Chain A
């Protein structure tokens, strides 16, 4: 069974003015479908860079990244956008919802770019809203929702196109401990019941322990990679 994600000797160097920054110095790993992975490491360890490449927001300088056996190497900007739309779901620390737009419309956003017609969109978005427990509150705008509720909307948006992977960057960073636990419970449920592959960046060990596998980054390399036997 081919791994969902296969990464081999991934290198990312970018220029910051005159300085060359080696963000990734050769990452090799694979992730199977249905895994729940936490990526940990200090700032500058390369974990965010790695996530950006996994999410096709960025290209590696060298090395190989295969999602479902296919590489994004020769794809155009537009084609990468299409992959993001179809295969990737993002959840951000700051929620990144569109202001002055209802929760439901936020959830519909990937469907709009996926050329899904209007009525179908509303149907799918409604279902996603229910799946994260916010049924009936879809007309509220982000300013009228709590942090936890906004993150739920963001999760619903991330799942609405049925992506291959859910990438979460410090998803509980702006939430209190109780709400964080609720969000992590949603992640676990999605992972267990719907077999959704989740890759999550976090610097908090408590949050990381919700995942079954922990990968530790340091200075652009993987220094630890273990399953917790959950």
Chain B
């Protein structure tokens, strides 16, 4: 059987070489189909991975309590919202709710930073030292601020990598003095880079200062003692729902909100938001793959078409083969191998084109892409199945020819 397989492949290749142009054009559908599938899956996988990385890098089990009611969608730490939360609220959450591991109250705003003749406008987070742990930040140099900095409202700051690049160029910023909103601050640390977030935000474009300093010097003068957001880290993923409910209950009590009245804050489960983004990415990836697969089907129809023509053209040849002893299944096999060879060669070329196209795409668009061997093998198998499926009808037709009539065919 093995010799027949190799011999059959050779015979099939020879038959396809007879009309190289025709074979090439027939393969085009499969090539494009497989190439498209590979490219779409790579783009989809890249997006999924980026979001998964995002989830991992953001710190786990995070809830954000925001000032203002829930009508603003998404996560907006806007400078325009009136802060309705206090540092005491944050302390209460930590002490009174069991499932809470860390809290970090934040007062945030946008400010202009100046160093020498460089300036840069960015987000300034006033927070407590825990924020670094909660949000999985690491320091690439220098030190975090401490409880003493909070107590003393010292004018120290931690800079993200993008800020460092824009203000200091290649220079080491540690120990240097920059002005935030014209107030002088000493740089005590630099945050390790995190890169772009899943929706394109530069995560390294930020500054941390002690909460008290932010309240006293930068943003809190209008609303003394208030914070805009509280970042809460729960102990485990399982307790997050409970913690969320308990926070809402606790704050309603503290803010003396009557039953029936809206909350003057909102609670967001960060992980949930990211999960739904991940889900969307998965669905999008599947959809793209499905659409690309349609072009593969079209390629298969092309194969069926050409094989039907080929069978008709070779009617005499089929008659001769039957006369010397070819059985129906020999003829079936012969033509099926031909369509299989067409689709597999097309599949291989399509993989090449798909990989090359994806690389070109990612260079020009900066979209994340991810190749998986599994997807490539799957596409190859899919191409083969298309060849067999669409080649079957013409092959069967050939095998059912009447040898006498076939021999008479002009």
B330–A90 contact, CB under 8 A? no
A114-B325 Cα distance, complex, nearest whole Å: 8
B324–A118 contact, CB under 8 A? no
Least CB distance from B384 to A in Å reads 25
Known: A100-B14, A100-B18. A52 touches B404 (CB 8 A): yes
A77-B407 Cα distance, complex, nearest whole Å: 17
8 A Cβ contacts from B221-242 to A: none
A157–B325 contact, CB under 8 A? no
8 A Cβ contacts from B178-237 to A: none
8 A Cβ contacts from A172-220 to B: none
Contact of B327 with A by CB under 8 A: yes
Which one of B328, B329, B403, B404 has the greatest number of beta carbons of chain A within 10 Å? B403
Known: A98-B320, A100-B14. A81 touches B327 (CB 8 A): yes
B404–A118 contact, CB under 8 A? no
Least CB distance from B15 to A in Å reads 9
B321–A109 contact, CB under 8 A? yes
Contact of A85 with B by CB under 8 A: yes
Q: Which residues of B contact A98 (CB under 8 A)?
A: 317, 320
A110–B327 contact, CB under 8 A? no
8 A Cβ contacts from B321-375 to A: 321-330
User: Which residue of B18, B316, B319, B321 is within 8 Å of A113 (Cβ)?
Assistant: B321
Q: Which residues of A contact B72 (CB under 8 A)?
A: none
Binary flags per residue of A108-120, CB closer than 8 Å to B gives 1, else 0: 0110111101100
Least CB distance from B41 to A in Å reads 40
Contact of B7 with A by CB under 8 A: yes
B328–A96 contact, CB under 8 A? no
Known: A96-B407, A109-B324. A118 touches B3 (CB 8 A): yes
Contact of A57 with B by CB under 8 A: yes
A55-B403 Cα distance, complex, nearest whole Å: 11
Least CB distance from A112 to B in Å reads 7
User: Which residue of A77, A78, A112, A161 is within 8 Å of B7 (Cβ)?
Assistant: A112
**Interface size on B (CB < 8 Å)?**
22
Known: A112-B7, A118-B7. A57 touches B323 (CB 8 A): yes
Contact of A58 with B by CB under 8 A: yes
- Contact-size category for A: 20 to 34
Known: A96-B316, A98-B320. A113 touches B327 (CB 8 A): yes
Q: Which residues of B contact A150 (CB under 8 A)?
A: none
A81–B322 contact, CB under 8 A? yes
A86–B325 contact, CB under 8 A? yes
Least CB distance from B298 to A in Å reads 30
Q: Which residues of A contact B317 (CB under 8 A)?
A: 98
Q: Which residues of B contact A109 (CB under 8 A)?
A: 320-321, 324
A135-B216 Cα distance, complex, nearest whole Å: 107
User: Which residue of A77, A100, A110, A117 is within 8 Å of B324 (Cβ)?
Assistant: A110
A81–B326 contact, CB under 8 A? yes
Which one of B14, B323, B407 has the greatest number of beta carbons of chain A within 10 Å? B323
Give 22 A-B contacts (CB < 8 Å), ordered by A residue: A52-B404, A57-B403, A58-B404, A78-B329, A82-B325, A84-B323, A84-B324, A84-B325, A92-B407, A96-B316, A96-B319, A96-B320, A96-B407, A97-B320, A98-B320, A110-B325, A113-B325, A113-B326, A113-B330, A114-B325, A115-B4, A157-B324
Binding site for B on A (CB under 8 A): 52, 55, 57-58, 77-78, 81-82, 84-86, 90, 92, 96-98, 100, 109-110, 112-115, 117-118, 157, 161
Task: List 5 A-B pairs, minimum CB-CB distance, nearest first.
Answer: A85-B325, A113-B325, A110-B324, A78-B327, A81-B327
Given contacts A55-B323, A81-B322, A81-B328, 17 further A-B contacts (CB under 8 A): A57-B323, A57-B403, A57-B404, A78-B329, A81-B326, A82-B327, A85-B324, A90-B323, A100-B14, A109-B320, A110-B324, A113-B326, A113-B327, A113-B330, A117-B3, A118-B7, A161-B325
